[in-house]
Structure 1
Amino acid sequence: MNSNSQAIKLFLVVAFSCTSLLASLTPVLAKPTPNRFDAKTILAQAKTFNQPPIPSGSPPKIRLRGGGKRAFNQPPIPAGSPPGGRVRGGAKRGEPACPTPKIDLTALVPFTQEANSVINVWGQTTVEHPSWFFYVPYTKDSPYTVEFVLQDPDANEVYKKAIALSDKPGVIRVSLPSTTPGLAVDKQYRWFFTINCDKQKNSPPSFVEGVIKRVNLSQPTLKEIETAEPLKRYAIYAQNGIWYEALTTLAELREKNPQDPTLKAEWRNLLSSIRLDDVAEEPILPGTP
């Protein structure tokens, strides 16, 4: 065999070997990896992270800034009939007359979602005359009627107040006045915050509702609260599952120091921990009832 034939044969052997090697690598190099981060999947994952399912009977333990020093511990749902409720605005039947805003009417209250998709909206207080906070998306330019109602365990009306809309959307405070009979210990009261956008009331209103229960703290905890500075007091309430005083304390601190970055972060983390991230950046309106 002449030298030309040998060279050609060597060339073919090398070429075949390279082709075989490339062929064996092609499935690894060229096979497309499943796109686990497409827009649809990312959005679905984001919703999962923002709204984690809460197994029945397993209340969340919510961590805030400061590691284990500040945590909101959501207590178990009270024994008896589940409180139910609604944390976002909407109607029971049909379509509400209110226009759909970017952020709907929202009660700033913890809620749990059971395995059967039932929502329970409730929180604890230690005082006779607590305060509630709501994000209201409508302004006084809207001809809507707004009302807050509190009922006792027998569904008797304890307090009813017409609420005036503010100049701009934001978080408002509704307090139970000292002239009204206070909440009894270990009793569950139901509250409603309703916006009726139909003057004739032919269409269902937008509303939120939930249950509040007054409880007693231990004497050592009460003594600690009495001597604590406000931010520490907020942390003690949060750690003991007392939502209303934790939120009120922090809201009052923010109203006095609206530009304080630490208080802004605490407020944002607290509301984000109960899956109300969208409301966390909304302003707390001064001079609300």
Structure 2
Amino acid sequence: MNLNSQPIKLFLVVAFSCTNLLVSLTPILAKPTPNRSNAKTTLAQATTFTQPPIPPGSSPGGRVRGGAKRGGPSGCPSPKIDLTALVPFTEEANSVINVWAQTTVEHPSWFFYVPYTKDSPYTVEFVLQDLNANQVYKKAIALPDKPGIVPVSLPSTAPTLAVGQQYRWFFTINCDKQQNAPPTYVEGVIKRVNLSQPTVKQLETAEPLKRYALYAQNGIWYEALTTLAQLRQKNPQDPALKAEWRNLLGSIRLDDVAEEPILPETP
């Protein structure tokens, strides 16, 4: 027997054992570690906005897009994307569009995509009325530095929205100083409601992304949109929040404004 061959055999046995160990560890080493971003993306895929039925009575009507008015063109130039209200809408069989959504707060916020900038000499106005056409609130809105999504909040100094009551809002851009041509505008109806006590309890302890999901699942559009918009403004590059935003606006068929920037509220 050749004694010199024994060390070689021993080396081969050890090497073979190490190779088997590495192969057995490979699935463990290759397994990705979960991260918070993946969790948020999963939520984006699972969260859907539940649109409640329109209250009984006369239809809310409304306009979710600006642009040409029935009976004549708008006095405003035609942008790539029209003035748009970020609000759910339904299209009925008789071509009537209903723009309607719910809030739970006394002083909610609205969001509008505005295609015109402060370089244009246009006047902008937000008006809130009760259903008897009595004015509740009125504000002149400054055009933004660039096209984008503009929030409009009902200030704490304004009258509070009453639970169970509906209100009609208008966002109007007048592009003709002489007012010979009609303005471009959007309008809809908002209703304040109360949530169930179990849902209120959940909201009190939920982190912001979960609060957004709870509002969306319970048909509370304005707080769902506001909560997600605030998260996006704090984390504008977060891909998971971008996915949530696209998912939410896509659920109400407003995909074309989902990539537009969310701008600060103008004074």
TM over 0.5: yes
Deviation at 1:94, TM superposition (A): 1.1
1:261 to 219, 227, 239: 239
Asked if 1:88 is matched to 2:65, the reply is yes
Task: Give the % identical residues.
Answer: 81
| Structure 1 segment 60-139 matched on structure 2, within 5 A | 66=43, 69-90=46-67, 91-139=69-117
Higher alpha-carbon Rg? 1
Per the alignment, in what secondary structure is the counterpart of residue 49 of structure 2? strand
Cα distance in 2 between the residues matched to 1:234 and 1:197: 36
Report what 1:236 is aligned to. Answer: 214
Deviation at 1:69, TM superposition (A): 4.5
Cα distance in 2 between the residues matched to 1:288 and 1:220: 36
Cα distance in 1 between the residues matched to 2:133 and 2:265: 30
Report what 1:15 is aligned to. Answer: none
Cα distance in 1 between the residues matched to 2:154 and 2:223: 13
Deviation digits for residues 188-226 of structure 1, max 9, x if unmatched? Answer: 100000000000111100000000000000111001001
Q: Is the 8 A contact 1:88 1:105 kept in 2?
A: yes
CA separation of 1:163 and 1:141: change in aligned 2, threshold 3 A = same
Deviation digits for residues 16-66 of structure 1, max 9, x if unmatched? Answer: xxxxxxxxxxxxxxxxxxxxxxxxxxxxxxxxxxxxxxxxxxxxxxxx963
| Structure 1 segment 131-170 matched on structure 2, within 5 A | 131-170=109-148
Q: Is the 8 A contact 2:161 2:192 kept in 1?
A: yes
1:200 to 160, 178, 182: 178
Cα distance in 2 between the residues matched to 1:164 and 1:92: 27
Larger relative CO (CA 8 A, sep 6+): 1 or 2?
Answer: 2
What count of residue pairs does the alignment treat as equivalent? 226
Q: Is the 8 A contact 1:65 1:269 kept in 2?
A: no
Q: Is the 8 A contact 2:44 2:244 kept in 1?
A: no
- TM-score, normalization by structure 2: 0.82
Q: Is the 8 A contact 2:103 2:190 kept in 1?
A: yes
Deviation at 1:68, TM superposition (A): 7.9
Q: Is the 8 A contact 1:153 1:189 kept in 2?
A: yes
CA separation of 1:240 and 1:142: change in aligned 2, threshold 3 A = same
Q: Is the 8 A contact 2:174 2:183 kept in 1?
A: yes
Query: Which stretches of structure 1, 4 residues or more, deviate above 6 A after TM superposition?
Result: none
Deviation at 1:116, TM superposition (A): 1.2
Q: Where does structure 2 lack aligned partners over 5 or more consecutive residues?
A: 1-40
1:215 to 184, 193, 197: 193
